[in-house]
Structure 1
C-alpha cells in the first residue's frame, strides 16, 4: 500500500465521519488497520520518533514555537533529549489510531484530560508516575491518573471589534443572537464547550448545566447551523477565521483570543463572561517509542513556574502551577483564565461527565454540523 493510497483512505474515512456515515470509534478501528502497514513518515503525522528524542503533539500554529521555547530547548539542554513539536492535533481518534497501529510514533500528547482518562481506561495511555511528576506543583484536583495538568484555557467569545466595539457581547445568548449581533459565527468542530454554550444561550443556569441536556443543546445547535461559516478544528484555524473576517464572532480558545487581542490591528477582542474553563494536560501514549521514563521526566520539567510563565507570555495559557501566578505582571493578568477576577465570570467544564459521555455526544454533534 503506497503513501498516496493510504492518505486517500484516511481522507475518505474522515469524510464519512463528518457526514455521520461511520462513528468515531469505527474510524479509529479502520484507521489503525490502514496505519499498521503505513511507512513511518505517514504514521508520525509529520514528526518521526527516533532514539534520543520525544515527539510532542499539540494543536499547531503558535503552540509549536511556544512549547519549544518554554520546554523543549530547556529539556534538551538538561537531558540531551530532543523534543520535536508536531502540530497535527492530538484528537482522541488520532491517539487511538497511533496506539492501535502497534507502532506509535508519538510520545506525548497535549490532550483533553477527559480523553486521556477515557483512553487510559482502555489501556492506551500510560498512568502518570507521580513519583517523578510532582503533584504538589499543580492546582488541587487537576492531577489525574492518566493526565497531568500543564495549563488552563477557556472557550470564550471572540468578536469583531470594528463591528461590535461599542456594543460588545455579554454572554452566550448574544453569540446566538444574529439579529442583535449580525454576522456569521465560528464554532469548535470537536464539540467541547459548544453544548454548554448552546444551553447557556437557551436559558439554562450555570449551576444546572450538568448533566448536560444533550437533546436540548443539539436542537439549539441544529437550528443555528445556517449562521455558522466554519467549524474550526485547531487553534491556528480559529485565529485565521477571525482575522479574515469570515466570522464576526467565534467560540475559540482563550489562548488564541489573547493573541488576537494583542494584535496591533485591534480587529478582534474577547470577553470572559460565561467562558467555559478547561484544563489542558500532557499524557503519554502507551508503548511510546521515546520511552515512558523520558516522557515522565519531560512532564515533570513542565511544572517549573518560570517555564509556565513563558507559555503564558507566548500563548496566554493559564498556569497549572499556582506559584506562577505571582510572576505574571499586573497589566497581563487580564489574559490569565485562572486569575480570580476572570474565573468568577466563568464555568468549569465537568471532566468526569466528559470522560463518560463525550464519544456519543460528539457522534451526534458531528452528524448535525455535517448534515
Structure 2
C-alpha cells in the first residue's frame, strides 16, 4: 500500500520523499458536559490546562507527549475534558478564562478562530510549524491527523453481518441495528453524502441539502447522537448501539485493553485535529512554547508511535516513525479514501452548524 498522504486543506497530490509521505491521524460544535474548573485562586503561570477529548486516547497521549513536554518546559499540565466553544466564549466574554490549550476539530478551530476566541499563533515561538502541505493558520495549529470508519463488536457481528461501507451503514434493511453518529455537522455531513452514494473524490463542495436529505433517512435509526469521543467505544461496549462512526486510533487503544471492538475502515474519512490557545489566557507565552514542542519531530513521532491509527503533520518527523506504522496509513490517492476539507468548513461552518443543531432538535 502506498503511504502517500495529503493535506485536507488542498487537493490531493502525491508526496515524494519518505519523510513527506506520512500525513494522517487520530473530532464539534458544542460538546455536552465539558470539564469546568471550579473557581479558586489564580493558577500559577507555570501551569497549563489542556482540554482534550478524554478516554484512553487522551491518557495515552498525555503519557507519551503532554507530560514529557511539561517536564521539559518545567510546567505543570492539568488535563480537562470536553472542548466546547460555547463554554469558551462564555469564559472569554466574562474575562475569566480557565482553559489554556484546547484540542479541536477542524470545524471547531475555524469557528473559534473566526469568532476571535483564541490567541493568534506566535510563530516567533512556534518555529516547529513546518507542515507537510498544510497551510499555517492565524490562530489554530494542526497537531495530528486521524481517520474514521464504521465501528462494531466482532463478537456480535460476523463478517457480512455488519455494514462495511457507508451505503451499507444507511441500508437498515440489510443491516438492521441501532446506529450512532456524532452530534456535530463536520464529518457527519461527509458520511451522509458517502452513504448516499457520493464518491470520495466528489465530496467537495459539499451538497448540504443532499446531505440533510440523507440524514433524514438514517435519523429514525440513530439511537445516540454522540457528544464525547470516548462514547464511540463505550456505547458499543455496553450494547446501547450496534454500529457507529468512530476512529481507528480509539479502536486500537480499546483493543489493547481487551475490549471487543473493531472498525471497518476500508473507506475511511481522514480529518485534522488542531490545537489553539484560549483568548485571554494568563499563560500565553508558556502555551506557545508548549505548542512548539507538540510539533517537534520527537513529539510528533512519539504521538503516532504510541497511538497507532493517527499520523503526523510535520515534514521532519517521518524518519522517527516506526516502519510498521508508516505501512498502516491509508493511501490518500485511493478512490476509497475521503479527506475532510477544512477550507470548505472555514467558509461554511458558521452557516451549517446552526442548521444542523436545529435539525437535531426536530423530528
Place the TM-score, normalised by the shorter chain, in its bin. 0.7 to 0.9
Query: 1:256 offset after TM fit, Å?
Result: 1.4
Match among 245, 269, 273 for residue 262 of structure 2: 269
In the alignment, structure 1 residue 131 sits paired with structure 2 residue 124: yes
In the alignment, structure 1 residue 226 sits paired with structure 2 residue 210: no
Bigger Cα displacement from structure 2, 175-184 vs 110-119: 110-119
Unaligned runs of 5+ in 1: 1-23, 26-39
Structure 2 CA distance for partners of 1:242 and 1:327, relative to 1, 3 Å = farther
* Paired position in structure 1 for 2:112: 119
In the alignment, structure 1 residue 300 sits paired with structure 2 residue 292: yes
- Tell me the matched-pair count: 327
- Contact 2:46–2:286, Cα closer than 8 Å, also in 1: no
* Separation of aligned partners in 1, 2:146 and 2:333: 11
* Separation of aligned partners in 2, 1:107 and 1:279: 20
In the alignment, structure 1 residue 364 sits paired with structure 2 residue 340: no
Query: 1:342 offset after TM fit, Å?
Result: 6.6
Q: CA RMSD of the aligned region, Å?
A: 2.7
Higher relative contact order (CA 8 A, sep 6+): 2
* Paired position in structure 2 for 1:37: none
- Contact 2:119–2:276, Cα closer than 8 Å, also in 1: yes
Structure 2 CA distance for partners of 1:97 and 1:139, relative to 1, 3 Å = farther
Structure 2 CA distance for partners of 1:304 and 1:125, relative to 1, 3 Å = same
TM-score of the two chains, using structure 2 as the length reference? 0.81
TM-score of the two chains, using structure 1 as the length reference? 0.79
Query: 1:228 offset after TM fit, Å?
Result: 1.1
* Separation of aligned partners in 1, 2:286 and 2:213: 46
Residue-by-residue CA offset, 1:267-296 (whole Å, 9 max, x unaligned): 221122332211111111121122x21111
| Structure with the bigger percentage of helix | 1
* Paired position in structure 2 for 1:245: 239
Unaligned runs of 5+ in 2: 1-28, 31-35
Structure 2 CA distance for partners of 1:369 and 1:124, relative to 1, 3 Å = closer
Match among 88, 92, 103 for residue 99 of structure 1: 92
Query: 1:363 offset after TM fit, Å?
Result: 2.1
* Separation of aligned partners in 1, 2:326 and 2:163: 21
* Separation of aligned partners in 2, 1:238 and 1:363: 23
- Contact 2:50–2:80, Cα closer than 8 Å, also in 1: yes
* Separation of aligned partners in 2, 1:343 and 1:148: 25
Residue-by-residue CA offset, 1:203-253 (whole Å, 9 max, x unaligned): 222222222222221122122122111111112111101211222211013
Residue-by-residue CA offset, 1:121-162 (whole Å, 9 max, x unaligned): 332211112222135532222532211111111232112223
* Paired position in structure 2 for 1:349: 340
- Contact 2:107–2:186, Cα closer than 8 Å, also in 1: no
- Contact 1:185–1:229, Cα closer than 8 Å, also in 2: yes
Query: 1:318 offset after TM fit, Å?
Result: 1.6
* Separation of aligned partners in 2, 1:227 and 1:284: 38
Match among 155, 159, 167 for residue 148 of structure 2: 155
- Contact 1:154–1:254, Cα closer than 8 Å, also in 2: yes
